[in-house]
Chains A and B, each alone.
Chain A
């Protein structure tokens, strides 16, 4: 049933990666993305990829699922790679045929591009695969609540996210109900071209919108009745705590960063 969809792409589990603190995962993912772009030769790039493979293995997320995350952007990757191949003119020429000039520099840049983008996508997908949307939201909120000037803004956005997550299943259920009600009245939602089908959706979307506004109005009342008044003076029941796992994760990425810098210095740059 539609109601059972998992929101986002969370993949419930109990691996060490799942159990890490969402704040640490967020920070480490960002650091990792930075070091992907620091790699200057195949040695450091290899290290970065190796680190990613280790983390994927630890997360116990099926490889098939990981590959699926790359699929939607395969076209973009191919496109960037091809463009780079044709436009980068450094290094020795490999092919000179009419208007096509391919050089070693072009090929290396293209390969780097492909690997970097793939690593970036896999790393960030891994974050959402192993952390529920609620935890990501809470993590972002608690991470930024340290900074006074950002606290209110981040809290507001996090609250909105939480409410959105809370209401997605409710709205889906309602969408189904209204669709069925309109079908019972003879509405045809499945046949016709795109424009016709879009038009047929109007009688479904209008009631959905109206009830959503009513919901929002009632929810705001209910929140006020429960003394909600923004981030000011608000505490949390569940405070996130860093554990040994997070220390390991931190050390792991720190070592990877050190390794990348060292390999960059030690071996010749190719890009």
Chain B
């Protein structure tokens, strides 16, 4: 199967003049390679400045790699004539919900993407209604965005992306500014997109427990992939993860300390495993 998004030995720097002979280039990301296949749920973890947002912006031609190549459904992001096509395939949701809502009415904001794609009005209407229903914001379609809660605004932003019907959605710390309730709303919405609509998700986050849902975890450090694998494979390396300034989920840590068997990531799994070992 063709991958939706593919990073192949990607290097990127924000410096203006790249002079590698000097050997002092500050790479925001370096030698980055990974693939996102249809239906994948990939979590990207890393402390501040590890290059997560740079990775996100490289994935839909907001930034273009200095070395290596990013391809979206076989289209290189260097191909300037096809930037729009790329952005339609890979949607992006940012951290601050306030700074990505354009219109003064919820449904008009969701329509912004499809309108830019030049779709006929009836098709836009259909997609907007579908997208708003998918994120559970249909009743709010005529509201003003500034009167919504953070979690609701972020769901509107997500609806605005899925109305473009992308195959892959990249969320760059989209839960970071929300309260626990808002975080849960957004997490549930994202999992629904993945499970029910079959969208591939790249979920960038600081919260380890959110990464537990992923099929694959990518831990970044200093612009490089530091660890990768299934959540349990990654979180088993407690010391390494601590070493790059991150935490492992508490349930996993406890399970490891107790020497419990199995891939334990959530409190529920941990409790079950403890019960099980006590019974024996």
Contact = CB atoms under 8 A, between A and B. Distances in A.
A227 B119 CA distance: 12
Interface residues of A, number: 29
Interface string B110-130: 011111111111001100100
Contacts of B185: none
Given A225-B62, A225-B91, A226-B112, A237 B102 contact: no
Nearest to B118: A233
B145 interface: yes
B146 A173 contact: yes
Nearest to B119: A235
B272 interface: no
A265 interface: no
Contact of A237 (B62, B87, B125, B164): B125
Nearest to B117: A227
A3 B98 CA distance: 15
Nearest to A217: B99
Interface residue SS majority, chain A: helix
Contacts of A191: none
A166 B94 CA distance: 18
A218 B104 contact: no
Interface in A177-224: 214-215, 218-219, 221-224
17 contacts: A3-B147, A165-B104, A166-B102, A169-B146, A218-B96, A219-B99, A221-B57, A222-B92, A223-B112, A225-B60, A226-B87, A227-B116, A229-B116, A233-B118, A237-B107, A237-B108, A237-B115
Interface of A: 3, 134, 162-163, 165-166, 169-170, 173, 214-215, 218-219, 221-229, 233-239
Interface of B: 57, 60, 62, 84, 87-88, 91-92, 94, 96, 98-105, 107-108, 111-121, 124-125, 128, 144-147, 157, 160-161, 164
